[in-house]
Structure 1
């Protein structure tokens, strides 16, 4: 096969880069197959019969950081924590605004409806660092009475056996158990389907495959850990210097010699409202925080995105194997779109309830959106969250920006 080669120092650089691109595409494929296989083997496993009896189950303190009643599904989501089939746990509700009388009224109503549940309310956040979520959880963390501590976001709901499933994974050498985020159905608007396609595909394939091979990849959306491990390092306050506290929590536990494992039940995200702007903001925030914590991802992560990897791999395949781009590139996108649909079905434990056409439409939108988000995030210098602005240094440490500092830089709202 004859090629017009670019030679420098006797090396055919086009050939070298073509093989690198093809091997990268193959590696992404292998990781994707790992994510599907691991999800099929690990997720939605039945509970052990002896665990259902509640024998020798340790107590769990569950903190719920809350900030207002804007989400119409909030009450339904919170109610699921009062009906957990678990022998010994407490609920610690932390309200950001101590004057949020409507939210306080709702919580007091739940306390009255479920008097058998040990539930407490903490009003107002402490100011121990720059992370608003950590500040909000501090009162609950300090009052926790049990050895296991569960952080659970407001938009997450639980099945009756979800907590039991997480605790069963807290074996002797495990220090943290987390749940893979998934989006529940709700009203299947385009933005809702977009969230489901993302969390069931692009997000899940990285999240699951990383955990399968032991790479630190988790969110604090729903995570259970041994409180004594964090207490030995200064408690929850030790994470207050980072906006991406979840990454550093898992890293701390790993560094202490404990394992971080994935629960078999996914975290059930159930927001009442979804929007394209909200999705874009969340994707931008997470990308920004990942790159701040692990700067090497600035170069590596874009090369795993199909909209970027596909054209590069198609050029490589044309050069190496004489397969035309007009064949290999559509085949690339079709392959990944179908595999995302399969992975979503494994994650949800049934075929998605949205149509295949809706899946394709949302999938294409997400893949094209990433071409806009990546250069946008690269150009960011600051983050705006909860009315404040933050500068994130490489390594993840965060500084709050005072008025008048660095006004010229671009800001992303999260």
Structure 2
């Protein structure tokens, strides 16, 4: 009897100690993200490439996949025309001549007649199930430059973004970087702003600008593995043409080795999260590093209901589950509610600290760190008039994180751009063959018909 009691005590001590140790580790990661955000984003110097002669800088092909009238589409696309960089071409990709984005593109091309801008029409070209990859292919095949900058249609960028990104992708040779693997991907952390006020939009904004940004920056600072959200990415076409998404290292990669069989962008048409897979392939197959620029990808969030937000989060958790299973399973333990509750139990057992005292302090400090990350990315704190609303939607996001994860983890079907897919074991997808059922189907029926949040815009004269 005494032995069983001792065993229970040892187990309790072990679990309590583990919860506190994990809490310390989690805070260490969070502070890395917060401190790195301060160092990286609070100063954005002008790149010398901005004023260099066009013949002395690498050429860049900017590719923007379009579908319909996305939120703030005119301003988003115009931001690429206004890049302070002397040598780039622009490609705007649509599925067909009837796409509503085309008048916006043509209006901008008329406004900037000296820009080297082109339209690529897919016209049925299909290399896989991913509609974005299919949309990109025509421009990808006609790109005049090796460096590609792929930006989503709902992203707006500052004028100096391209020059600073090329600085990172093609740095001058120095003794300090001679022994390091070269940079294969330069990417930008998303920073959301709400253009169509709604509850789901504000929750999405609170998520992307705090917890998501903090963890994203921390993981990329530690750089133990690839972690890229592809709203805005620069990489070399010549690198992409050597990899296939298998994530198998190429034995002679340093000497120009390549994977057998299908390679290049078309090889990634079988994945839904092609951006993450491209970055992972360059990391694992070629051994190249990634780097975050000091710029952000301003992500316009249109009208989004709370149901839309929930369905969106379920979709990407299900995709990640098939790609990074261990990290997805551990995700609830990185959230403020679960981590705080576990730590409060551990501290009560080990030190006698009551949960009613610990938990409010934990939430307050967690919130303050998240607000600091927001201020680093934005360049200013949350405006005082919006602070209570921001904190309220931040709290909704934190409370919804665990229920959303539970729903997402038990299914494999997702809906993207009006098409349902089944996510396979290796991260590939195939079109689903039956009507949506269960919680996600209910969310689709009670939310908006599309979860891509397109809004009609008046085309400027």
- TM-score for the superposition, normalised by structure 2: 0.83
**Does structure 1 residue 181 correspond to structure 2 residue 193?**
no
1:263 match: secondary structure: strand
Deviation at 1:12, TM superposition (A): 0.3
- 2:430 equivalent to 1:399: yes
1:313 paired with 2:312, answer: no
| Residue 370 of structure 2 is aligned to residue 340 of structure 1 | yes
1:151 aligns with 2:150: yes
Matched, 1:248 2:277: yes
Q: Equivalents in 1 of 2:335, 2:125: separation in Å?
A: 40
**Distance across 1 between alignment mates of 2:25 and 2:350:** 17
Which residue of structure 1 aligns with residue 65 of structure 2? Answer: 65
Q: Which residue of 1 aligns with 2:299?
A: 269
Corresponding residue number in structure 2 for 1:357? 388
Q: 1:77: which partner in 2? A: 76
Match of 1:167 in 2: 166
Q: Secondary structure at the match of 1:81?
A: helix
Q: Distance in 2 between matches of 1:306 and 1:49?
A: 38
CA contact (8 A) 1:382 1:410 kept: no
Residue equivalent to 1:201: 210
Question: Residue 223 in 1 paired to residue 230 in 2?
Answer: no
- Deviation, 1:7, is 3.7
Work out whether residues 182 and 269 of structure 1, in 8 Å CA contact, stay in contact via their aligned partners in 2.
Answer: yes
Q: Is residue 84–residue 163 contact of structure 1 (8 Å, CA) maintained in 2?
A: yes
**Per-residue deviation, 1:193:** 3.5
| Per-residue Cα deviation, 1:191-227 (whole angstroms, up to 9, x for no partner) | 4432332112110111000000003211110000011
Residues 369 and 410 of structure 1, relative CA distance in 2, 3 Å threshold: closer
SS at 1:20's partner residue?
helix
Between the aligned partners of 1:366 and 1:271, the Cα distance in structure 2 is: 16
Deviation at 1:339, TM superposition (A): 1.2
Distance 1:5 1:54, change over 3 A: farther
Q: 1:367-411, CA deviations, whole angstroms, 9 ceiling, x for partnerless residues?
A: 11113201110122211223332111233122223x45x866665
Asked if structure 2 preserves the Cα contact closer than 8 Å seen for 1:151 and 1:222, the reply is yes
Aligned-partner Cα distance in 1 for 2:125–2:42: 38
Q: 5+ unaligned residues in a row in structure 2: which ranges?
A: 172-181, 244-262, 445-450, 452-461
Q: Distance in 1 between matches of 2:28 and 2:324?
A: 23
Give the whole-Å Cα distance in 2 for the aligned partners of 1:340 and 1:93: 36
CA contact (8 A) 1:242 1:396 kept: yes
Distance 1:377 1:251, change over 3 A: same
Contact 2:46/2:164 (<8 A) preserved: no
Q: Does the 8 Å contact 1:180/1:262 carry over to 2?
A: yes
Tell me if the contact between 1:65 and 1:96 (Cα under 8 Å) persists in the aligned partners: no
Could you tell me which residue of structure 1 aligns to residue 52 of structure 2? 54
How far apart are residue 274 of structure 1 and its match?
3.8
**Residue 397 (structure 2) aligns with:** 366
In the superposition, relative to structure 1, how do residues 200 and 271 fare at CA in structure 2: closer, same or farther (>3 Å)?
closer
Alpha-carbon shift at residue 72 of structure 1 (Å): 4.5
Alignment of 1:75-114 (within 5 A): 75-100=74-99, 102-114=100-112
Given the alignment, which residue of 420, 426, 440 partners 1:389? 420
The 8 Å contact of residues 63 and 93 in structure 2, kept in 1 or not, is answered as yes
Cα contact 1:91–1:118 (8 A) shared by 2: yes
Assess if the C-alpha contact under 8 Å between 1:382 and 1:409 holds in 2: no
**Which position in structure 2 is the counterpart of 1:12?**
10
Kindly report the root-mean-square deviation, in angstroms, between the aligned alpha carbons of the 2 structures. 2.2
Aligned position for 2:459: none
Alpha carbons of structure 1 residues 95 and 193: separation in structure 2 relative to 1, 3 Å:
same
Aligned length: 406
Q: Which moved more, 1:283-292 or 1:273-282?
A: 273-282
Runs (5+) with no aligned partner, structure 1: none
Aligned to 1:235: 264
Normalising to structure 1: TM-score of the pair?
Answer: 0.92
Match of 1:135 in 2: 134
Partner Cα separation in structure 2 for residue 301 and residue 266 of structure 1: 24
